[in-house]
Structure 1
Amino acid sequence: MAAAAEVVHDWSGEFPLEASSVPAARATAAGLLGRFDWAGDRDAALLIVSELVTNAVRYARNERLRMRLAVSWPQGLVVEVTDEQPGVLPKQTCPPSVNAESGRGLFLVQALGATVTVSQTTRGKTVRAELEER
């Protein structure tokens, strides 16, 4: 049986559902990763934050999103973005069409080595990406 992960650092906060939240969430994550002394791929982690927040801003209809960053041992970094848009779950593993103008976000997150899960909540959905520290 695998041992349970030990959460070493955990942070969550809210951002308005607007385009300016993408760079704000990315800057917040950059500061937190430094404070957390996370030794993983920082660029990949920040791109994952950008993609997940962008998806929420683009597709959700509520006013706010919640982002959570957690570093656990031995798993690594967890990035979660929750919005209150029920019933609209993103496709997880479909490669985008060559001519598509969108639809690459979660595919890109997975290509960076993150495991992506999408779950419904009582009021919407949470997209979770787990990235190993390596």
Structure 2
Amino acid sequence: MTGKIVASGATLVLLVASGASAAQAQSAVPELKPVTVTAPQIVYRRVFDNRGYGYVEETSMSIAVDYGDLDLARVADVRELEGRVSKAATTICEELAEQIPNGRPSPSVCVKRATADALVQVEKAVQDAVRVANAVGVADL
């Protein structure tokens, strides 16, 4: 998604109303990028060529988690996004497990890794949202 946080329009209005110029208000709102949840590479087959040299085939899967409808300066909305990330990680790891039943890591390890990696992006998005909210005095965290 390439839009802005739904609340960003209100943030822009608040910044402009508080005396900030429209250009300052626009620069204060960070670009909203979806959180990408990526399953770790799943090893699913060891292949050997006619000379006995082997290599491992791997696959991975990603899904974008949209949060344009959330205000990440609010604790409840942060928890909602964390839940979406967890659900997305579970979905892609279970799908990989169905496609590659004997793949490694296991689905539970896949979910833990995918969730942990995506939560780093969530934390960055939350920091940006709180920074903007603090600039206008509306942070809930």
Measured against the shorter chain, the TM-score band is 0.3 to 0.5
TM-score by length of 1: 0.33
- Greater percentage in helix: 2
TM-score by length of 2: 0.32
